[in-house]
Structure 1
Amino acid sequence: MSIFSPIKQAKRARVGIYSIGLKAYWNQFSGLKERLVEYGRFIETRMSEFAEVYNYGLVDEESEGKKAGEWFNEKNVDIIFCHAATYSTSSTVLPVHLICKAPLVVLNLQPTDRINYEQTTTGEWLAYCCACPVPEISNALNRSGIEFRVINGLLGLNNTPAISLTNETTSERKEASRAWKQIEEWTRAASVPRTLRHSRFGFLGNTYSGMLDMYSDFTMLQAQTGIHIEVLEMCDLDRLLKEVTPRDVREKLEEVHKMFKISGDSSSDPIAKRPTEEQLSWSCKVAAAQEKLVREYNLDALTYYYHGAPGSDYEKLQGGFIVGHSLLTASGIPCSGEGDLKTAVAMKICDILGTGGSFSEIVVVDYEDETILLGHDGPFHIAISDGKPLLRGMGLYHGKQGTGVSVEAKVKTGPVTTLNVTQTEDGKLKFIISEGESTNGPIMRIGNTQTPVKFRLHPDEYMEKWFMEAPTHHCAMSIGHNASLFQKVGQLMNIRQVTL
C-alpha cells in the first residue's frame, strides 16, 4: 500500500455470474433448485470482495440463456463466470455467449470433497455433479469459436447446509484455495482492461532520441489497450509552475520528508551529493506543478522526457522532474522516464493490480551472487520500497542534460515479477514476464534505484532468453510472484505473453 491516497482510483471489474441446471429436475427433486441457487449466492458474495458482481441467477433452458446474454450486455460486464451447479444441456449455455462476448470462465466447483456413498440419493448426487456438463459445454463452445477457461476444485463453503448428507465445509482444502486463487486472479485481471479503457496517459516532451525500441504509434496503443494519449508541452507545465505558491512548495516539502530520507554526500561518487536547500525547494515547486498538470488534464499515468537547450528554463524545469514524478507514482499516477509509453502501460497494469510497478532496466550483473541489478535514475514506486528511499543531489544526470535531485532506493527483499511491454514486427504488443527474488545484496551509492534480482536461471541463460524476446529495454518491477496474474491480463486484452 502507498503512504499517499491515490489521486484517481482504479476501476473495479464488472463481473457477471450465472448458475446452470436442467429445468426438468426441479419438480423431480425437492429443494435441489434452491440449494444450487444458494451455492451461486455464496460465489457471488466471495467475488464481491474484489469486483462488482452481477448475478443473473439460474439459467436452466435455452430461452433463459438468451435473456441472460442480453442482461449481461446491459450490465456491461468485463468477464462472465458460468457456475456449473449441476448437469445442464450445452444448448442452455451457448446462447449466453453468442449474445454477450465478454470473456468466459467455467466454474467446476464441487461442494463436497467426498459424497456419502451409503446414503446419497439421486437428488443429493445431482447437487455434486458439477463436472458432468463441462465436457459437453466445452465442445459446444469450441465448435462455436468461443474461447473459454475452466477452473476445477472445491466450492470452499465454511459450513454444511442442513439439506446435505455429507460434509461441505471445504474452505481449508487445498482444492478450494487453489480454485479461489484462480477466481480472484481472473477478477483482478479484468479490472485492468476496464481501467485502461477509461485512462488518459500524458506524453510530455519527446522520447529520448535514438531509443528505437521505445517509439510507438499512439493509435496502435489506443487500439490495443484502450488508453487515450494526451500530448503535452513543456509550456503547459511551465504555465502551471507560475501558479505554484509558497504554501504549495511547503506542502510538497512535507510530503518529501514523509516519503524520503535526505542523504549525505555519497562516499563513492563525487556527482552524488547531499541535496541543497535550493535543489529541494526547486524539486518541490516543480512537483506541485506536476500534480497540477495531472489534475488539469485528468491523467492516470504520465511518460516524459525533455532535454532542453543548455542553460534554458526548460532544462532547469526538467532537472526537477524525478521527485515529483516519484510522488505522483506513489499516488497512483505511474510516471515513466525517457518517453517510454509502453513501460508506462506496464507500470499502470502493476499499479491497478496493487503490485507496485517501478521503472527499471538492467544496471549490471553480479556473477558472484548470480543476480542482475535492476533499477533506473527515474521515479521510484514507494509501495515496493525496502524502507525510505534516499534523495541525492546530482551534479549531472548521466547521458542527459541538467542537474537536480534523484532517488536512490531498493525494492523490498522477497518475490518480485518484472513486466515488460514490447512491440513485435507486426505492430502488436507483447508481455514478457519474469519471476525472481529480490535479494539483500549490496547496491551502489550513486543516486539511482537498484535492486539485485535472482532469477530462476543463471544470469547468462536468463539474459539470452530475455533478449531473444526483443524486449523494450525498460520494464516495470512488481512485488510478489505475479506471472499467473499478468498472463490472465494478457489473455483478457488479447496480448501475446511469454513467461521466462
Structure 2
Amino acid sequence: MFDNSKKSTKPRIGLYSVGLKAYWAQFDGLRERLIGYGKFIESKLSDYGEVYNYGLVDDEKVARQAGEWFNSKNVDIIFCHSATYCTSSCVLPVHQICKAPVIILNLQPTAQMNYEKTSTGEWLAHCGACPVPEFANAFNRANIRFKVVNGLLGQSATPKISVTDENTAHRPEAIRAWNEIIEWTRAAGVKRVLQHARFGFLGNNYSGMLDMYNDFTLAQAQFGIHVEILEMCDLIRFLETVTDEEVEAKIKEIEEFFQIVGDSPSDPIAKKPTEEQLKWSAKVACAQEKMVKEYELDGLAYYYHGAEGNYYEQVQSAFIVGHSLLTAKGVPCAGEGDLKTAIAMKICDILGTGGSFSEIVATDYELGTIIMGHDGPFHIKISDGKPILRDLKLYHGKKGTGVSVEAKVKAGPVTLLAVTQTGDRKMKMITTEGEAIKAPILMIGNTQTHIKFKYHPDEFMGRWFNEYPTHHWAISVGHNASLFEKVAYLLDVECAKI
C-alpha cells in the first residue's frame, strides 16, 4: 500500500561455467551444450538481479580474465556453475582476483543417466559433482570461503543432443536447489542495499542503556552503511516549512491506515487522541518525511530528552505516528537510539518480510507464549488489521506524552532478527523462528504479539539470553532464518540460530 521512499537496488550477480579445454576437441557438441546450461541458469537468475555471465572458463588464463571482468562489474556474489570436470587451477584464480563471495552450483541436468546409451561425452555433461571436492580443497587451502548448492538443474525441456530425460523442473531436488539459489540472490540484494544505505541517528541514546550505545565505525565496517548524525534542530528546520495543506493530506493518510478509538478500558493513561494531537502528529510526520528525503535516509535511530518544557520535547512526543508511516515506506525507525535494531529492521524490510521494533513484554505460561512488542513505531504492512492510535498521558520511563500505536503482528509464521555487539567488538546476528498466534493483548497503546516458539518459554529465553542480544530486535513475517543466515554469511557477520 506504500511505495518505498527509495527503491531497493538489485544485486549484481556474477556467473560462469567451468570445463576442461581438452574435452572440446574430443567430444563434439559438449562445449556448446554446457554453455546452454549456463544460459539457462542466467535466465533464471535474471528475475532476481543484474546477471553478468562470463560464459565458460576452461583454463587458468581465462580464469584470470574472468576475475578481472567480475571486478569491473562490481558483482556482489559469484555463482560458479560446475558443469563438468575441470581442474581447480582453472577456478581458483577467478576468486583470488575477485573477492565477491562464491557459491558453487552442483546442478546435474538429469535425475538418472541412460545407462545403455550413455557415451563418455554424454557422461561428461552430467558429472558436475566430480570436481567439487577438488574445488573445495583448493579454496580451503587458499583461505577462500565458499558454499555449495547441490541438486538438479531444473530444466523443463531436454536438449536434442541428450540421450536421457532432462525435464527435472518438477523434481524436489531441483525445487530445493533453486529455492536455495534464490535465497542467495536475495541475500546478495541485502548486502548491496546496505552498502549504499544512509542511516540517520537523531538525538542520543536513552541514558544508561548500555546495550544501546553505538559504535558507528563498526556499523559501517561490518554492514557498509553510512551513519548521518542529526540534531533536533535539523528536524525543526523542516517543521517550519510544513504547510496547512500538507498537514491536511497527512491527516487523511493517518486516518486511512490507523483506527482512532476511544479511551482504553483498562489503562487510565491510554486515552482517545484529541484532534489537536492528531494535527500535531501529522505536522511532525510531514517534517520527518521531508528530513528523510533531504538526507536520503534508508533508516533512522532516534531518541531525545531535554529540559522540562523544552520545545524539542514537544516535537519528539509526536514522533511515533510519523515514524510508523516511514517504517511502512521502507525507512525503518527504531527508538531509544537503537541503531543496531534499525539495521535488523532494514534487513527484514529489504527482503519484504516487515521488521517491527520489539522487546519482551511478558510471558503467558497458560498459552505457552512470549509476548513481544514495544511502544514506538510499528510496521503497518505486517499488522493484524488496522493499528490503533491512543493518546498516552505519559511515556513510561521517559518524558513527555503523545500519540502511540497499539497493534499486533498478524497470525502465522514469524522470525526474529536481532543485531547485537559482542565483547570482542564485532557485530553479531541472532535469529529464531516461531508462530504468532491470535490472543488478547494489553490495551495500553503499545504493540504486542503472542509468539509460540519451538521450546518452552523458559527454555527459549535461556537459549536467547545466552547469545547476549540487546533487549530489542525486529519481528518479521514468514520463516526466514535461512535467509538471514545467508545475509550474515555474505556480510561476514556471525549468526546464531536458536
Cα distance per residue 1:346-371 (max 9 Å; x no partner): 11111111111100000000000110
User: Quick one: which amino acid aligns to residue 228 of structure 1?
Assistant: H
2:47 & 2:10 partners in 1: Cα distance? 10
Measured in 2, the distance between the counterparts of 1:19 and 1:132 equals 14
Q: Which residue of 1 aligns with 2:462?
A: 464
Q: Equivalent of 1:360, from 334, 355, 358?
A: 358
Alignment-derived partner of residue 153 in structure 2: 155
Q: Deviations over 1:186-217 (max 9, x none)?
A: 11111122111111110101101110011022
Matching of residue 166 in structure 1 with residue 164 in structure 2: yes
Aligned to 2:198: 200
- Name which of structure 1's ranges 74-83 and 119-128 shifts more when overlaid on structure 2: 119-128
User: Structure 1-normalised TM-score?
Assistant: 0.98
- Provide the residue aligned with 2:238 in structure 1: 240
Alpha-carbon distance between aligned partners in 2 of 1:439 and 1:260, rounded to the nearest angstrom: 21
Spell out the pairing of 1:412-491 with structure 2 (5 A cutoff).
Answer: 412-491=410-489
- In 2: Cα distance, 1:269 partner to 1:123 partner: 77
Paired AA for residue 375 in structure 1: G
1:83-131 deviation per Cα after TM superposition (whole angstroms, max 9, x unaligned): 0011111111011111111111100000111111111121111111110
State the alpha-carbon separation in 2 of the partners of residues 257 and 33 from structure 1: 62
Instruction: Look up the SS of the partner of 2:211 in the other structure.
Output: helix
Distance 1:197 1:121 in 2: 49
Query: 1:69 maps to which residue?
Result: 67
Aligned CA RMSD, in angstroms, stands at 1.0
Alignment of 1:45-444 (within 5 A): 45-444=43-442
Residue type of the alignment partner of 1:351: D
For 1:142 and 1:116, locate their aligned partners in 2 and report how far apart those are by CA, in whole Å: 35
Q: What SS class does the counterpart of residue 34 from structure 1 fall into?
A: helix
Q: Partners of 2:3 and 2:323 in 1: how far apart?
A: 15
Letter in 1 for 2:49: A
Whichever residue aligns with residue 272 of structure 2, its letter is R
Of the candidates 22, 36, 39, which is equivalent to residue 38 of structure 1? Answer: 36
**Offset at 1:402?**
1.3
Aligned residue type for 1:486 = F
Residue 178 of structure 1 aligns with an amino acid whose one-letter code is R
| Percent sequence identity over aligned pairs | 66
1:496: how far off? 0.8
Give the Å deviation of 1:142: 1.1
CA distance in 1, matches of 2:245, 2:417: 38
Q: Which amino acid aligns with 1:279?
A: Q
Between 1:221-230 and 1:289-298, the stretch displaced more is: 221-230
Query: Which is worse superposed, 158-167 or 38-47?
Result: 158-167
Taking the aligned partners of 2:216 and 2:87, their CA distance within structure 1 comes to: 46
How big is the shift at 1:283? 0.4
| SS of equivalent residue, structure 1 residue 81 | strand
Q: Which moved more, 1:48-57 or 1:258-267?
A: 258-267
Partners in 1 of 2:414 and 2:448 — Cα distance? 13
Give the Cα separation in 1 of the matches to 2:137 and 2:225. Answer: 35
For 2:253, give the aligned amino acid. Answer: E
Post-superposition offset of 1:256 = 0.9
What is the deviation of 1:266?
Answer: 1.3
Which AA in structure 1 matches 2:277?
Q
Look up the SS of the partner of 1:213 in the other structure.
coil
Matched residue type, 2:95? H
1:309 Cα deviation after fit: 2.2
Residues of 1 paired with 2:266 and 2:439: CA distance? 17
Rounded to whole Å, the distance in 1 between the matches of 2:317 and 2:122 is 71
Instruction: Write the distance in 2 (CA, Å) between the matches of 1:481 and 1:199.
Output: 25
2:260 & 2:327 partners in 1: Cα distance?
A: 19
The count of corresponding residues between Structure 1 and Structure 2 is 498
- The TM-score normalised by the length of structure 2 is 0.99
CA distance in 1, matches of 2:323, 2:88: 52
Shift of 1:332: 0.5
Q: Distance in 1 between matches of 2:324 and 2:46?
A: 32
CA distance in 2, matches of 1:263, 1:72: 56
Q: How many Å separate the matches in 1 of 2:162 and 2:271? A: 71
The offset of 1:298, in angstroms, is 1.1
Letter in 1 for 2:431: I
Deviation at 1:258, TM superposition (A): 2.2
Deviations 1:9-45 (A, max 9, x none): 1221111000001111112222111111111111111
Per-residue CA deviation, residues 162-201 of structure 1 (Å, 9 max, x unaligned), is 2221111111111011111111111111112211111111
Greater CA deviation, 126-135 or 157-166?
157-166
Measure the CA separation in 1 of the matches of 2:447 and 2:157: 49
| Secondary structure of the structure 2 residue equivalent to 1:230 | strand
Helix, strand or coil at the partner of 2:113: coil
Once the 2 structures are TM-superposed, how far is the Cα of residue 383 of structure 1 from its aligned partner? 1.6
Please state whether the residue corresponding to 1:316 is helix, strand or coil: helix
